A = this chain, B = another copy of it.
Amino acid sequence: MEKLGKQTIKFDNPPTILECSSIVGPKEAQGPLAKYFDQTLEDEFWGEKSWEKAESKIIKEATNMVISKSGISSQDIDCVFAGDLLNQCISSSFGLREINLPFFGVFGACSTFVESLSLGAICTEGFAKHVLCATSSHFCSAEKQFRFPLELGNQRPPSSQWTVTGSGAAILSKEGNGPYITHITPGKIVDMGIKDANNMGAAMAPAFADTLITHFTDTGRSPNYYDAIISGDLGHIGKEIAIDIAKSKGYNIKSNYNDCGVLIFDKNSQDTHSGGSGCACCATVFSGYLFKQLREKKLKKILLIATGALMNSTSSQQGESIPGIAHAISIEL
Contact = CB atoms under 8 A, between A and B. Distances in A.
Interface string A159-197: 000000000000000000000000000111101000000
Given A88-B312, A310-B105, A94 B320 contact: yes
Given A78-B3, A109-B88, A186 B104 contact: yes
* Copies assembled: 2
A106 interface: yes
Given A102-B7, A188-B102, A315-B94, A107 B89 contact: yes
A103 B119 CA distance: 12
Given A103-B188, A105-B115, A108-B104, A90 B311 contact: yes
Give the contact-size bracket for chain A: 35 or more
A85 interface: yes
A50 B318 contact: yes
Most buried by B among A83, A88, A107: A88
Interface string A79-94: 1000101111110011
A109 B88 CA distance: 7
A188 B82 CA distance: 13
Nearest to A314: B52
A189 B97 contact: yes
A189 B93 contact: yes
Given A103-B186, A188-B103, A323-B97, A86 B127 contact: no
Interface string A291-333: 0000000000000000000111111001010010100000000
Nearest to A3: B127
A327 to B, nearest CB: 8
A100 to B, nearest CB: 6
B125 A115 contact: no
25 contacts: A1-B127, A3-B128, A52-B315, A52-B318, A87-B88, A87-B313, A87-B314, A88-B109, A88-B310, A88-B311, A88-B312, A89-B310, A90-B312, A90-B314, A93-B311, A94-B310, A99-B188, A99-B189, A100-B188, A101-B188, A102-B188, A104-B108, A104-B118, A105-B107, A105-B115
